[in-house]
Structure 1
Amino acid sequence: MAPKVSYTCSSMFFVLLSLSSLCISHAHLSQNSEDKRPSPLGFLTKLIDTTHKGHKAGGLSELKKYLANLGYIDHTNPRIQTHLNNDVFDDTLETAVRKYQEFYNLKITGRLDQETVKQLQEPRCGFPDFHPNANLTSFAHNWTGALYTYLGTAWPPGKRYLTFSYPKSFRSDAELPMALAFGRWMTVSPFKFGYRSDFGSADVKVSFERRDHGDGYPFDGPYGVVAHSFRPTDGRLHFDADERWTPYVAKESFDLQTVGLHELGHILGLGHTPDPKASMYAYFRPGESRDLNEDDIRGIQSLYPN
């Protein structure tokens, strides 16, 4: 159940400082763990190096829809929609695979090679890598070294205090990791955060959900899409309740603070980055801890310069 007292900006900051050593010690013990649970995209394994343009194979329509959800295929285009339901490795799929490989710095082959399939099967955030209104700084401004991206919307000027809330069913052990995540963004941005007991009226609404939960983006069960959130000023942040979550870094589970920090980046207006060391990198490993890095900080401060 949600706490009766409000989290203040200063209290979150001091909690962050006092517990940072604890989080680091857990990360040191567990960061190299790997979870062997099957991915919802496990069917791709049998297609490695055997399927390419012109081939037909079971599951390719599912892969097309998955890549469309991540922004690599324009599913709003009527001409392309007709190809999403067939299992043909067509030009649309080859283009999407190449675009995916480029974004994640993989060898650009346009094929389902081993490296690409392995990346596709990793657990990740469900927010699209490519958004229609996104400002892809990683491609437009490589000369600056910037890899961060924008989502095309931001919180309006003057709106720098955001309230957050949880439903009554929220896991109590998730409250501290989320407070740490809020506090971390507070240290590098102009935003302040405060708890509100009324879930419906909060700016940021954090909850655990399962499968089809009514927002148009159903979760896919364990070890697939582990969480997602929405761009400003929607404010919804959802963890997949079917995943293994812990309030600290532990083997074979996902760290609530690490994933929460990432999803709050979307809430504030940042997109995904191809930098695997950044908080805004889309993929997560069980037992992994990530903090904001220089690129994340440059991104949020560029989006909100004051």
Structure 2
Amino acid sequence: MKITKTVKVPSNIGLTKSDTGESVTELQNLLQKFGYLQLTPKREDEYAELRNEIASPKAEKGVFDDATEEGLKNYQKFNGLPQTGQLDESTVKQMGIPRCGFPDRRVGFVEFNEHGNRWPNTNLTYRIENFTIDLTEEQVRSAIASAFKLWSDVTPLTFTEVDNNSNADIKIKFVVGAHGDHNDEPFDGIGHVLAHAFFPPPNLGDLAGDAHFDDSETWSVNLPVSAGIDLVTVAAHEFGHSLGLDHSNVRGSLMFASYTGEHRFLHQDDIQGIQSIYGS
């Protein structure tokens, strides 16, 4: 079942320091979700530990204070925007682009980021637990295999699909809204967050390495993509997280957080990142 968007993307152009109210809270909520700000109470979900590692500034909810300005500037910096510290038109436009639900940890604002977790073996298995109604099972399987192949082509990694009766390192499923993650990280309906994934073990127990796709989106595998979201592109990005990569701040890299259309190749930044973990 498709559901409509439940999370607001900030749209009040011109918000600046000392402003107050619901529009400021909407901005703060987005900055907190993606790792740029801390509010009280803290957002508790699967990515809480990662956000804690970032040591983002702490803000007063509903008040555009110094911390909110700093968090917004950090968001602008990571996304290659002018660091105005105001909710300007280019920032609102960037915030409205569909993206991955994984936080932007931006450790030292290096290009590729590796988290430090890696799979102890290079022969990994995956299981597709269910399928989107937008595509045939064969199309989904082919898209997932193509996404994994981008990473196996430049590393010693191999990926083998197993059936639902077998244990798998990486579990893949299509879901909507709240879908049973620890502390839950619900999807927001059509648009904005497209998917999310989790680092390799030992993070998060059974969720480690898994990838979830928002089935409120319309998924496509046809090129060029004239309607819907390219499953190969989004899956390859999410599998980067499943293998231990953070978001990159390099526009043009597969691991950049935002989705702007089909991107079925690795940038040199992506290759450098994954090979720093698993070798070539």
TM-score w.r.t. the length of structure 2 is 0.82
Structure 2 spans left out of the alignment, 5+ residues: 43-51, 202-207
Return the alpha-carbon distance in structure 2 between the equivalents of residues 55 and 283 of structure 1: 28
State percent identity of aligned pairs: 37
Return the alpha-carbon distance in structure 1 between the equivalents of residues 108 and 118 of structure 2: 16
Return the alpha-carbon distance in structure 2 between the equivalents of residues 305 and 176 of structure 1: 26
- What residue is the counterpart of 1:246 in the other structure? 220
Return the alpha-carbon distance in structure 2 between the equivalents of residues 101 and 290 of structure 1: 26
Counterpart of 1:207, as a letter, is: K
Q: Could you tell me which of 190, 201, 209 is aligned with 2:156? A: 190
* Root-mean-square deviation (Å): 2.4
- Go from structure 1 to structure 2 and tell me whether the alpha carbon gap of 1:252 and 1:54 turns closer, same or farther (over 3 Å shift): same
For the Cα contact (< 8 Å) 2:5–2:189, is it kept in 1? no
Q: Could you tell me which of 184, 188, 192 is aligned with 1:224? A: 192
For the Cα contact (< 8 Å) 2:220–2:227, is it kept in 1? no
- What residue is the counterpart of 1:269 in the other structure? 244
- What residue is the counterpart of 2:232 in the other structure? 257
Shift of 1:59: 3.0
Return the alpha-carbon distance in structure 1 between the equivalents of residues 108 and 62 of structure 2: 34
For the Cα contact (< 8 Å) 2:254–2:263, is it kept in 1? no
Return the alpha-carbon distance in structure 1 between the equivalents of residues 90 and 7 of structure 2: 17
For the Cα contact (< 8 Å) 1:248–1:257, is it kept in 2? no
Counterpart of 1:256, as a letter, is: L
Task: Tell which structure's C-alpha radius of gyration is larger.
Answer: 1
For the Cα contact (< 8 Å) 2:131–2:140, is it kept in 1? no
Q: Deviations over 1:222-255 (max 9, x none)?
A: 1110010001120210110001111223213110
- Number of aligned pairs? 250
Give the structure with the larger helix fraction. Answer: 1
2:22 alignment partner, SS class: coil
- Go from structure 1 to structure 2 and tell me whether the alpha carbon gap of 1:138 and 1:188 turns closer, same or farther (over 3 Å shift): farther
Alignment of 1:95-244 (within 5 A): 95-130=70-105, 136=107, 138-139=109-110, 147-156=111-120, 159-169=121-131, 172=137, 173-198=139-164, 201-215=167-181, 216-233=184-201, 234-244=208-218
Return the alpha-carbon distance in structure 2 between the equivalents of residues 277 and 260 of structure 1: 16
TM-score w.r.t. the length of structure 1 is 0.75
- Go from structure 1 to structure 2 and tell me whether the alpha carbon gap of 1:154 and 1:272 turns closer, same or farther (over 3 Å shift): same
Return the alpha-carbon distance in structure 1 between the equivalents of residues 26 and 88 of structure 2: 17
